[in-house]
Amino acid sequence: MTMLKEGRPTAPAHVNKEHPDPATATRNRALMLEEPLIFEIGSTETTGVDFTPVDKPASRLGGLERKRSIGLPGLSEQETVRHYTRLSRQNYAIDLGLFPLGSCTMKHNPRLNEKVARMPGFADIHPLAPVATVQGALAVIHELAEWLKTLTGMAAVAMSPKAGAHGELCGLLAIRAALEARGDARSVILVPESAHGTNPATAAFCGYKVEDIPATPDGRVDLAALKARLGPDVAAVMITNPNTCGLFERDMKAISDAVHAAGALVYCDGANFNAIVGRVRPGDLGVDAMHINLHKTFSTPHGGGGPGSGPVVLSEALAPYAPLPFVEKLPDGSFALVEEETAGEHHAGSFGRMVAFHGQMGMFTRALTYILSHGADGLRQVSGDAVLNANYILRSLDGVLDAPFGGSGPCMHEALFSDKGLAEGFTTLDIAKGLIDEGFHPMTMYFPLVVHGAMLIEPTETESKAALDQFIMALRSLAERAKAGDEALKGAPYHAPRRRLDETLAARKPVLVWIEEALAEAAE
């Protein structure tokens, strides 16, 4: 905790020789305002609200009432608003600048999406409202579902999963239901080395044994190794395509054929669909289930754990096992919700529910707005521009940063670099911290695990050439400093509200409550 109370960072001499950086009495730096924790400004003895005193009611908590004060700080409305506004200015956002996080697809979210999502007919409806009163909302879910099926060439789609990882769970539950229905419960899921961490986690969560499939030296699934491992105990393979090295799995059809021949099913992690939307239909590649991150490919904002939406497209083989409820268009053109009570024999195979209701309505409206405003041709251009931008970064840093797969042709939507060639003692972390001083969010680091000191950069299609050039210039400068062994880089960031924190301690012993004893315990 002491680190929070330390003085704000002072830049070393090299940062600005012309103008010294004098300390201010307030520790504010012009518009960059130093902000303490809310517990440090608000007294727990005061309240910002003028309540009428009430007689202490008789407790109905059976002796379980709180013994000590709840300890919430009391602030006036203005103090509260200022606190959160000041904090928000210390944050980085897609609306401030380029967000190069690989494997995340942080793209601009058009304001039109927000306007539509906030229309009262979508925003203010209740999931238990009678179906006859929410026909428009159901029509939106249905139309989006049709688009997703068309874009992926798949037979069905489950709209309710609320994130990519939740979609993976949905896909594996459908796969398990299909295998059990044919009396062939299998126990192993194969996951390539380069998989996103959520893939093995989901398989393990479902109770499967997870086994690795190695990558080839050019960063793709080793088809021969996969074929050699297939057998009667393998339920499915989970393959990310394009993969987390930013490469298209060219053998995808051969992989699917081999997996199907062995009686197993193919799960495709479609979080990187942004790179291929409008160009490749996963259904044509033999995929049985794939989640789509609406909050990546279809622009809706994300971060900090939500909100997200991860619809799962399903092949003919898996469609009968899709979760309930779902929207069905009736012959008279109206829409119905198929629930347990109404599913009937036709959907008797459903594995159950993923969520209490129907999924993320706000994300559905945003995604459909994005799709309709782009049209089919516009979506095709999205993937083209996203891939072009990533290759522009990859080639612009030729000879500056090591690109482990740069020699094996163009990348897809993200460019992957390693720490090879940095001076002794300099790491990917130093470059990431340097980027903060340069006014950028760092790239994804140390992922994928198959590359040493990985730096994974995904610019997306929404960045202009001018923005890319500025980012490349910053990265080039940092790479050159790290290669030349510029010691000052090891102290970066100098200009951020906080310097280098003890991230391991923060992850291992997070202090999530403001209680003096807890703080003392954590300090030990």
Ligand X SMILES: *Cc1c(COP(=O)(O)O)cnc(C)c1O
Give residues in contact with ligand X (CB under 6 A).
103, 163-165, 196, 198, 240, 244, 269, 271-272, 293, 308, 310
The least distance separating ligand X from the CB of residue 195, rounded to whole angstroms, comes to 8
- Residue with token string 């070393």: 12
Smaller CB distance to ligand X: residue 272 or 391? 272
Q: Which residues, at least 6 apart from 82, have a Cβ–Cβ distance to it below 8 Å?
A: none
Neighbours of 92 (CB within 10 A): 15
Smaller CB distance to ligand X: residue 358 or 413? 413
d(CA 457, CA 100): 5
Smaller CB distance to ligand X: residue 196 or 481? 196
Q: Is the peptide bond before 493 cis (omega within 30 degrees of 0)?
A: yes
The least distance separating ligand X from the CB of residue 342, rounded to whole angstroms, comes to 30
d(CA 468, CA 457): 11
d(CA 390, CA 461): 9
The least distance separating ligand X from the CB of residue 244, rounded to whole angstroms, comes to 6
The least distance separating ligand X from the CB of residue 198, rounded to whole angstroms, comes to 4
The least distance separating ligand X from the CB of residue 166, rounded to whole angstroms, comes to 6
Smaller CB distance to ligand X: residue 171 or 283? 171
SS3 239: strand
The least distance separating ligand X from the CB of residue 112, rounded to whole angstroms, comes to 23
Q: Which secondary structure element, helix H or strand E, spans residue 432, and what is its range?
A: helix 428-437
The least distance separating ligand X from the CB of residue 119, rounded to whole angstroms, comes to 25
Q: Report the candidate in 278, 277, 265, 267 with the shortest Cα–Cα distance to residue 235.
A: 265
Question: Cβ(318)–Cβ(175) under 8 Å?
Answer: yes
Please identify the residue of the shown chain whose CB is closest to the bound ligand X. Answer: 164
d(CA 494, CA 504): 20
Q: Report the candidate in 268, 164, 259, 245 with the shortest Cα–Cα distance to residue 451.
A: 245
Smaller CB distance to ligand X: residue 104 or 393? 104
Smaller CB distance to ligand X: residue 292 or 436? 292
d(CA 153, CA 176): 22
Q: Report the candidate in 202, 94, 157, 173 with the shortest Cα–Cα distance to residue 310.
A: 157
Smaller CB distance to ligand X: residue 293 or 335? 293
- Residue with token string 């119905």: 336
Q: Which secondary structure element, helix H or strand E, spans residue 209, and what is its range?
A: strand 209-213
The least distance separating ligand X from the CB of residue 103, rounded to whole angstroms, comes to 4
Question: Cβ(245)–Cβ(451) under 8 Å?
Answer: yes
Smaller CB distance to ligand X: residue 300 or 315? 300
Smaller CB distance to ligand X: residue 89 or 250? 250
SS3 190: strand
Q: Report the candidate in 301, 359, 338 with the shortest Cα–Cα distance to residue 167.
A: 359
Smaller CB distance to ligand X: residue 9 or 164? 164
d(CA 238, CA 157): 18
d(CA 397, CA 418): 12
The least distance separating ligand X from the CB of residue 335, rounded to whole angstroms, comes to 27
State the helix-helix crossing angle for 465-484 and 361-396, rounded to 10 degrees.
60
Q: Is the peptide bond before 448 cis (omega within 30 degrees of 0)?
A: yes
The least distance separating ligand X from the CB of residue 293, rounded to whole angstroms, comes to 5
Smaller CB distance to ligand X: residue 93 or 228? 93
Neighbours of 284 (CB within 10 A): 13
The least distance separating ligand X from the CB of residue 240, rounded to whole angstroms, comes to 5
Question: Cβ(454)–Cβ(99) under 8 Å?
Answer: no
